[in-house]
Amino acid sequence: MTLLSLHGIRKSFGAVDVLHGVDLSVAAGEVVGLVGDNGAGKSTLMKTITGIYRADFGSIEFDGKDILALDPGQRRELGIEMIYQDLSLAKQQDVAANIFLGREPTKKLFGLFPGIVDKAEMDRQAAKMIERLGAHLPSINRSVGSFSGGQQQTVAIARALTFNPKLVIMDEPTAALAVREVQSVLDLIRRLKSEGIAVILISHRLNDVLSVTDRIVVLRHGRADADLVTAKTNMNEVVSRIVGGGDISAAAAHEQRG
Amino acid sequence: MASEMAQPGFWARVQRASVERLHIRLESLVVLLALSAAMAVLSPFFLSLSNFLNILLATSTIGVLAIAATFVIGSGGLDLSLGSVMGLAGVAGAFVAVNLGWPSVFAVIACILAGGLAGYINGQLVTRAFVPAFIVTLGMLGLARGLALVISQGRAIYGLPAAIVYIGQGRPFGIPMPVILLVLTAIVAHCVLAYTRFGRHTLALGDSEGAARAAGIRVEHHRRIIYTLSGALAGLAGLLFTARVNAGDPTAGINYELTAITAAIIGGTNLFGGRASILGTMIGALIMGVLQNGLTLLAVQSYYQQMAIGAVLILAVFIDQYQVRKESRV
């Protein structure tokens, strides 16, 4: 069943055309790798899905609904979450504040004043989520900025998973991580898939992409240039699709060494 | 990891607890007590109930402006027009009450409305015209002051009705009305900032606009509300001041934004947004009040007081930034 489908998405910033009509579809529970050179438009495309950018042309359907006119908050409500490359955390706020940002549970104070944020409930759920991810943080009440990169990543992941998403977009989730942490992110992606959650993985680490995805979409010059089934492709083909001709064998050999 | 988990000292733990639980920096409280003690030693007049009420009364206007500054700066913005908008609001209220002869309640509404309108314009310009807040509110500083002078034809408007004067000079239970209104405003503002989604979003927005946007917070809409709120609070400050001096003075509030912003920063508001507390700001406002009161009792010329406020502002930001660099990996 198709969860997300994009048709003819175009986006330009002033005179610079970034996306020239991208088609992309993702099924429920499917893991799709999105690869491409720097400047191919990967992040821009993802931000048109989350609603941070509004597409100039084209259509976006999610779960059978046209979501083109919805703002980022409404799209999150429908179940689209994204883990940004820069993590997009509010670094002076604590763990629970970040996880629940924009969706704080509220209660009535003395049964009278509505809209009081239920901090105790937030802390409880945040701690539970962090534990479920098998992560350890020094303290849940500390500002996120005092954590290490991996710990901050945990918070960003917890935020994306707390509200039962249907689609999780990950932008370079492993770029800044140590080897062991990379494995746990890949394990997490497999776990999400087994729970029926679709994942779009943007990564330059093609080994990661090849090991965890069902399909690989290559974005090149603002178009979806190739749509490969992971089981039927290999490093060489992916690399050649990314660089599009030129000295393919040298690039592929380099990737394999890396 | 071991070094990171090492037990922090007692002082560091108390510091952290006060920031996490009470949203105040302990240092500001220490400074307030030390400053008060110093003044008490230096001047025999400092420690008296009447002087204490004097300080609170003098702090009431600045305190309300400082609450406005706390919201705006906490959200990553800046409002330099606070003092001018306060002056404009006071004149607008006096004009409605005296020149138009309308009932007092309309004068009160006029103060808040004039302030709120100026703030609303600030917010519109910042979020729709993409003029930086620094420039927009600096421009409003000139615009509002000029308009106040135009409305009042450059002269203070006297002869306010008794009901208005009561707001500034009344003393139910011996406590000055402006002090009561400041405390009420501060309590409401504290609850809004610390315990509501609006307050939390305000700080998240100041912390990282990108994170707030990604979380689905309507960033521009939120900013417009903050600037409008800031203007309305400046309007309230204008009402308190006008009622206290019993005149709509077009030059009221000159340089008050300097003191208000300083109070907010001393109270622990991060100049670049993301961290703020009303409790802290109230301590900051009291520090400014004690400083000015003490210097006056010590017969220090007001010119030097102006210099002292400027120096304190720079010092407070320096200390704050030093702490931030030390504590965080941001």
- Domain edges within chain B: 47-327
Helix, strand, coil percentages for chain B (3-state, nearest 5): 75, 0, 20
Pairing of strands A80-83, A167-171: parallel
Candidates A143, A159, A170, A171: best to mutate against B (most CBs of B within 10 A) is: A143
B93 versus A132: the higher-pLDDT residue is B93
B243 contacts: CB under 8 Å, gap ≥ 6: B160, B164, B165, B166, B167, B168, B169, B177, B178
The reported pLDDT for the residue numbered B238 is 97
Candidates B187, B191, B200: best to mutate against A (most CBs of A within 10 A) is: B200
Where does the pLDDT of residue B11 fall: very low under 50, low under 70, confident under 90, or very high at 90 and above?
confident
Q: Which residues of chain A have pLDDT under 50?
A: none
Q: Residue holding tokens 């239970």? A: B173
**pLDDT above 70 as % of chain B:** 94
CB contact under 8 A, B274 and A146: no
Q: What is the C-alpha end-to-end distance of chain B, expressed in Å?
A: 19
Q: Residue holding tokens 């003395």? A: A110
Among the residue ranges A58-62, B112-116, B120-124, B294-298, the one predicted with the least confidence is B294-298
Strands (DSSP E) found in B69-162? 157-158
pLDDT at B83 over 90: yes
Interface residues of B toward A, Cβ cutoff 8 Å, are 4-5, 20, 191, 195-197, 200-201, 203-204, 207-208, 210-218, 270, 274-275, 327-330
Pairing of strands A31-35, A198-202: parallel
Mean per-residue pLDDT, B113-139: 96
Tell whether the torsion through CA atoms of B279, B281, B282 and B283 is positive or negative: positive
Candidates B187, B217, B329, B330: best to mutate against A (most CBs of A within 10 A) is: B329
- Give the separation between CA B151 and CA B114, rounded to whole angstroms: 12
pLDDT at B286 over 70: yes
Q: Express each pLDDT in B144-171 by its tens digit.
A: 999 999 999 999 999 999 999 999 999 9
Q: Least CA distance to A160: which residue of chain B?
A: B215
Nearest CA-CA distance, residue B279 and chain A, Å: 18
- Give the separation between CA B183 and CA B186, rounded to whole angstroms: 5
Per CB-CB distance under 8 Å, the chain A contacts of B270 are: 92
The reported pLDDT for the residue numbered B3 is 42
What is the CATH topology of the domain spanning A1-79+165-258?
Answer: Rossmann fold (3.40.50)
pLDDT at B57 over 90: yes
Q: Cα–chain-centroid distance for residue B271?
A: 14
pLDDT at B2 over 70: no
Domain ranges of chain A: 1-79+165-258, 89-163
The reported pLDDT for the residue numbered B5 is 45
Q: Least CA distance to A104: which residue of chain B?
A: B197
Domain B47-327: CATH architecture, name and number where available? Orthogonal Bundle (1.10)
pLDDT at B6 over 80: no
Q: What is the C-alpha end-to-end distance of chain A, expressed in Å?
A: 36
